[in-house]
Amino acid sequence: MSSVLYGILWILVRTIGRLCFHYRVVGAVPRTGGFIVAANHASYLDIPLLGCGMRRRAWFLGRNDLFPVPGLKAICQWLGWIPLRTGRLDRDAFGKAVTLIKEGKVVVIFPEGSRSLDGRLQSPKPGIGVIVAQTGCPVVPAYLKGTYDVLPSGTMWPRFRPVSVLYGDSLTCPRSGEDGEAKQFYQEVSRTVIDRIASLGAVESPTQQSSAGIRKAE
């Protein structure tokens, strides 16, 4: 039943996107297998507009305080939202994501960990590396272009601006080394993914911003 409702919402959001935001999709995700879709996060519209750009159902890792209303929270979980406690490694949320991927499902994660307040990419969190380490799954980078212009932080009503979703080629991040190097692997995965997301959107990545800041300080 949840798949039927998900499909109805998929059609509805995609139709609204095309009518109001000249919504278009560039690229596609694989048709089979379990993997992660990793995208930038600049607006509350990112989840629905990213989801309706895929021809597959997806599950979304998101902050546990996104839907504070009890009834709405239960419905969103039924549809595929995985509430994630921030500030620490949420083993329950990541464990569910790992299980879904191993079952051949698609899980969406926003490596920045929270919404960007100015539309620019933020430094990534290592959580995506944890999932990759436990599943060995590929990562499909995605860039949402225009969602910040439509609904930036601090606004309640969307503006009519064009929105595009760009999907890149799958990335594989083979793990090597000892278990003691796990944290380094997590960080390398997150940096690699955020750089690929930045290249899709032709924007500056946080690693480039950091390097520029160091050079300026010198």
Domains contained in the chain, CATH given = 2-212 (3.40.1130.10)
- pLDDT of the residue at 69: 74
- pLDDT of the residue at 70: 75
Amino acid at 47: I
Q: Identify the DSSP state of 121.
A: P
- pLDDT of the residue at 84: 87
Q: Do residues 28 and 55 lie in contact, with contact meaning Cβ atoms separated by under 8 Å? A: yes
pTM: 0.89
- pLDDT of the residue at 66: 76
Q: Do residues 190 and 126 lie in contact, with contact meaning Cβ atoms separated by under 8 Å? A: yes
Q: Which two tokens stand for residue 174?
A: 């083979």
The sign of the torsion formed by the CA atoms of 120, 121, 125, 128 equals positive
- pLDDT of the residue at 208: 64
Pick out the chain residues at pLDDT < 70: 176-180, 208-218
79 CB-contact burial (10 Å; exposed 0-12 / middle 13-18 / buried 19+): middle
- pLDDT of the residue at 20: 95
- pLDDT of the residue at 209: 59
CB atoms within 10 A of CB 30: 14
Q: Do residues 115 and 44 lie in contact, with contact meaning Cβ atoms separated by under 8 Å? A: yes
Give helix 91-102 / helix 127-135 axis angle, nearest 10°: 40
